[in-house]
């Protein structure tokens, strides 16, 4: 057995925390609008560049950029819902058309991200391709601050979401709108508002993750699609209809991906590192084959009872 190494565990914890923010957001919009959002990776990438601009042009600390990134990410997502998905839903479009629309929006975002990257590079002479901001991270107890901030933020988010969905009136209304839209509408819940809000939250969480990404890994305008595989894998492992499942899935995929690649590269050789996305893909496929409703869709109690009887 290879000994645990601190940098590897640190990487795994940071990535898993960031992934939970992305997968909970994706799952939230899937629960409300019933469409897997193929532009979710780009919501994060967009904010990688917003934060880069704030840090390098205005000289802000990368951690301060988290706040505008939340709102910007939220607005980018809200625009997708209000300008594209809502009108399509009103016309009775099915989920395939909605998926295509999110891919089209994804292309628009890719284009804008690249234009911003080119612009920052040519006008402000900032390195915008294959860059990272690790050097600007602060030091906390001899470790980079992101090692504490990412997991803490991830826990805060899931706690806040829990209280929002269970203790506030609007949150309960949102759950009602998810469970039975027509019934919720009958008792006076504004479904459109709850759906729009879920998109804002989803984009905002992706924005938070995006703002913190450059502190952890090398970023490039095309990281969106690589993230997307992990995000979908995390959400599907979590069941796609349960945000706590998505949180769990994010942790699981994030840890498996990072630790798996790390240990395999020590044991087999560094040539295996580029094949990293195979890990989330295989976990996703296993889930689809054996428990298509995800970890939270399995009736664990029944399964355990059956095991005990056998």
Partner 1 sequence: MTIPEVFFIDLLTIVGLFVIISMSLNLEFGYAGVPNFGKLLAVAGGAFFVGAVPGRIMMFILSPGSGLDFVQNNIEAVMLLNQVFASDALASIIYLVFSLVGAAVAGGVLGYVASYPAIRLRGDYLAITLLAMAEILRVIADNWPEFIGGSMGVRIPDPFRWVGGETRALAVAVTILAVVAIVFVYLELVLRSPLGRALRAMRDEELSAEVYGKDVARLRTKTLMVGCAIAAVGGALYSFLTASVSARDFNRVTHTFWPWVMVIVGGAGNNVGALVGAGIFVTLRKFITFYKSYFEPFVPFDVVWLEYLLLGLALIVVLLYRPEGLVPERPTKTLRRKELLEIAERVRSEASSK
Indicate whether 26 belongs to the interface with partner 1 (CB under 8 A): no
Indicate whether 298 belongs to the interface with partner 1 (CB under 8 A): no
| 225 Cβ contact partners less than 8 Å away, ≥ 6 residues apart | 41
DSSP lists the bridge partners of residue 295 as none
In this structure, how many other beta carbons lie within 10 angstroms of the beta carbon of residue 215? Answer: 26
Binder among 18, 53, 233, 234 for partner 1 (CB under 8 A): 233
In this structure, how many other beta carbons lie within 10 angstroms of the beta carbon of residue 148? Answer: 14
The tokens for 260 are 């798996």
Q: Coil, strand or helix: which one is 303? A: helix
- For residues 107 and 160, which CB has a smaller minimum distance to partner 1 in the complex? 107
Binder among 118, 156, 170, 306 for partner 1 (CB under 8 A): 118
Cβ-contact 14, 150 below 8 angstroms: yes
- Shortest distance, position 298 Cβ to partner 1, whole Å: 15
DSSP label at 273?
G
Indicate whether 57 belongs to the interface with partner 1 (CB under 8 A): no
DSSP lists the bridge partners of residue 131 as 219
The tokens for 27 are 């799952």
Indicate whether 38 belongs to the interface with partner 1 (CB under 8 A): yes
Indicate whether 103 belongs to the interface with partner 1 (CB under 8 A): yes
- Shortest distance, position 99 Cβ to partner 1, whole Å: 6
Q: Coil, strand or helix: which one is 113? A: helix
- Which window, 70-78, 180-188, 199-207, 223-231, contacts partner 1 (CB under 8 A)? 223-231
Distance CA 275, CA 249 (A): 20
Question: 262-291: which residues touch partner 1 (CB under 8 A)?
Answer: 271, 274-275, 277-278, 281, 284-285, 288-289
Binder among 75, 79, 82, 114 for partner 1 (CB under 8 A): 114
Distance CA 15, CA 172 (A): 31
- For residues 26 and 157, which CB has a smaller minimum distance to partner 1 in the complex? 26
**DSSP notation for 185-240:** HHTT--HHHHHHHHHHHHHHHHHHHHHHGGGTS-B-TTHHHHHHHHHHHHHHHHTS
Q: How many residues does the chain have?
A: 310
- For residues 189 and 240, which CB has a smaller minimum distance to partner 1 in the complex? 240
Indicate whether 36 belongs to the interface with partner 1 (CB under 8 A): yes
Residue 44's alpha-carbon distances to 8, 180, 252, in angstroms, are 23, 30, 20
Indicate whether 35 belongs to the interface with partner 1 (CB under 8 A): yes
- Shortest distance, position 108 Cβ to partner 1, whole Å: 4
Indicate whether 138 belongs to the interface with partner 1 (CB under 8 A): no
- For residues 188 and 274, which CB has a smaller minimum distance to partner 1 in the complex? 274
Indicate whether 13 belongs to the interface with partner 1 (CB under 8 A): no
Indicate whether 193 belongs to the interface with partner 1 (CB under 8 A): no
Indicate whether 229 belongs to the interface with partner 1 (CB under 8 A): yes
Name the residues that contact partner 1, by CB under 8 A: 35-36, 38, 84, 87-88, 91, 93, 95-97, 99-101, 103-108, 110-112, 114-115, 118-119, 122-123, 225-226, 228-229, 232-233, 236, 271, 274-275, 277-278, 281, 284-285, 288-289, 292
């Amino acid at each position: 057995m290879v000994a645990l190494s601190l940098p590897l565990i640190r990487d795994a914890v940071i990535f898993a925390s960031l992934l939970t923010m992305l997968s909970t957001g994706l799952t939230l919009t899937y629960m409300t609008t019933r469409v897997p959002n193929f532009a979710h990776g780009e919501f994060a990438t967009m904010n990688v560049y917003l934060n880069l601009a704030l840090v390098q042009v205005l000289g802000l600390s990368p951690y301060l950029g988290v706040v505008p990134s939340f709102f910007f990410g939220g607005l980018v997502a809200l625009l997708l819902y209000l300008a594209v998905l809502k009108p399509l839903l009103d016309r009775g479009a099915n989920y395939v058309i909605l998926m295509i629309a999110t891919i089209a929006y994804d292309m628009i975002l890719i284009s804008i991200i690249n234009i911003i990257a080119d612009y920052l590079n040519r006008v402000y002479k900032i390195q915008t391709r294959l860059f990272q901001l690790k050097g600007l991270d602060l030091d906390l107890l001899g470790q980079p601050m992101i090692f504490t901030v990412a997991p803490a933020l991830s826990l805060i988010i899931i706690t806040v979401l829990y209280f929002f969905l269970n203790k506030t009136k609007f949150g309960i209304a949102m759950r009602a709108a998810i469970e039975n839209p027509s019934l919720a509408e009958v008792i006076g819940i504004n479904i459109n508002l709850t759906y729009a809000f879920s998109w804002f939250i989803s984009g905002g969480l992706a924005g938070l993750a995006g703002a913190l990404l450059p502190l952890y890994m090398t970023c490039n305008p095309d990281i969106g699609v690589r993230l997307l595989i992990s995000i979908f894998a995390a959400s599907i492992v979590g069941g796609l209809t349960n945000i706590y499942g998505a949180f769990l899935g994010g942790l699981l995929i994030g840890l498996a991906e990072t630790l798996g690649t790390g240990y395999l590269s020590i044991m087999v050789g560094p040539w295996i590192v580029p094949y990293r996305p195979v890990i989330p893909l295989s976990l996703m496929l296993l889930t689809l084959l054996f428990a298509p409703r995800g970890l939270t869709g399995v009736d664990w109690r029944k399964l355990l009872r059956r095991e005990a009887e056998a």
